[in-house]
Amino acid sequence: MEKKVDETLLERKTSWDGQQLVKYDGFWFSEMFFRQILSAQNHFVAKDSDVILSTVPKSGTTWLKALAFAVANRGIHPNTDRNPLLTSNPHTLVHSIEINLFHRENPNLEYLSSSTSSTISSRMLSTHMPFEILPDSIRESACKIIYVCRNPLDQFTSLRHFLIENRIKKDVVPLGLDESFDMFCDGIHGFGPFWDHILGYWNAHLENPGKVLFLKYEDLKEDIGCNVKKIAEFLECPFSLEEEKRGAVEEISRLCSFENLKNVEVNKSGYVMDGLLKNSTFFRKGEVGDWTNYLNHEMAERMKKLMQSKFEGSGLMFKT
């Protein structure tokens, strides 16, 4: 049944970069994407063969898109020297449901009904929507979801840089670090609160690990090969012994590495989202622990306590 929302009743706040956030079903959404999310909730029909890549922004979306694309399409693009990732930004190879497909309430139906640039038989799409907000058909169909999250201190640091660099209202002075950190810790940021976003997918993964693969940015950094194999197994296209012997896992890991993708020409000079976002802003530092260059001890302690209170009993832990 089509959901109708009286938008005048929704709580609103101004985000750190001047854009408006709207609170809906317990989560905060940028006003820019909110209608698109509602439209996707009402009209997106998942296929059993779909692969959905999900993240809270700045947790490793670009990396996950590259990895999943390279793994799922290695039959079509076995040669990593000629992979589409060397000429296209990962965001143009794997489209976002709410940002690209339901763009300006004008769903790209042709795109939705066809297979995409991923494997011939399945569509690979992405979303930042929390698990609870996903269109019903994603949760109810047999489609698979890969989720990646990141320690919130680095996610915050990455998000703050990205929002300031890409702010649409250039004349708006962004909120200071302390105030934006306060808002982040109150859960007020696009697709936040981050803890509810993470817990939604974590619980879905515990309930049905064959449906939701749950990854962490820090684990990918620590052992990318193991995680590339995990992604392939989850997508039911495990690496054969022959592939492993000839180094296919290492090749894909290298292809998708920060150092490699950052230096690809399209990621240095190109744009996505109708020219709004520079591709280069998706490749800043790509490190674990960069927060230590920006946040003080007090902030780190506050976050530690917040994480303890929110994740207590869930079994979730983050390396910071």
Nearer to ligand PAP, 59 or 83 (CB): 59
Q: Does 256 participate in binding ligand PAP (rule CB under 6 A)?
A: yes
Residue in 41, 55, 83, 88 binding ligand PAP, rule: CB under 6 A: 55
Q: How far is CA 161 from CA 153, 156, 192, 303, 316, in A?
A: 13, 9, 17, 19, 26
Stretch that binds ligand PAP, among 71-79, 132-140, 165-173, 252-260 (CB under 6 A): 252-260
Among the listed residues 91, 95, 103, 128, the single catalytic one is: 128
Q: Does 271 participate in binding ligand PAP (rule CB under 6 A)?
A: no
- The minimum distance between CB 121 and ligand PAP, in angstroms, equals 26
For residues 113 and 50, is the Cβ–Cβ distance under 8 A? no
Q: Does 17 participate in binding ligand PAP (rule CB under 6 A)?
A: no
Residue in 122, 152, 286, 318 binding ligand PAP, rule: CB under 6 A: 286
Q: Which two structure tokens, joined as six digits, stand for 135?
A: 């269109």
For residues 168 and 19, is the Cβ–Cβ distance under 8 A? yes
Q: Does 149 participate in binding ligand PAP (rule CB under 6 A)?
A: no
Q: Does 282 participate in binding ligand PAP (rule CB under 6 A)?
A: yes
Residue in 13, 246, 285, 319 binding ligand PAP, rule: CB under 6 A: 285
- Range 135-142 contact pairs with CB under 8 angstroms and sequence separation of 24 or more: 135/40, 135/41, 135/42, 135/43, 135/44, 135/45, 135/46, 135/97, 137/44, 137/45, 137/46, 138/44, 138/46, 138/50, 138/52, 139/204, 140/46, 141/46, 141/47, 141/48, 141/50, 142/48, 142/211
Side-chain half-sphere CA neighbours of 261 within 13 A: 29
CB atoms under 10 Å from CB of 201, counted, come to 24
- Whether 128 is a known active-site residue: answer yes
Residue in 16, 29, 63, 156 binding ligand PAP, rule: CB under 6 A: 63
How many residues contact ligand PAP, by CB under 6 A?
A: 22
Q: Does 70 participate in binding ligand PAP (rule CB under 6 A)?
A: no
For residues 137 and 45, is the Cβ–Cβ distance under 8 A? yes
Nearer to ligand PAP, 5 or 277 (CB): 277
Q: Which residues are marked as active site? A: 128
Applying CB under 6 A, which residues contact ligand PAP? Answer: 55, 57-63, 66, 154, 158, 161, 256-258, 261, 282-286, 290
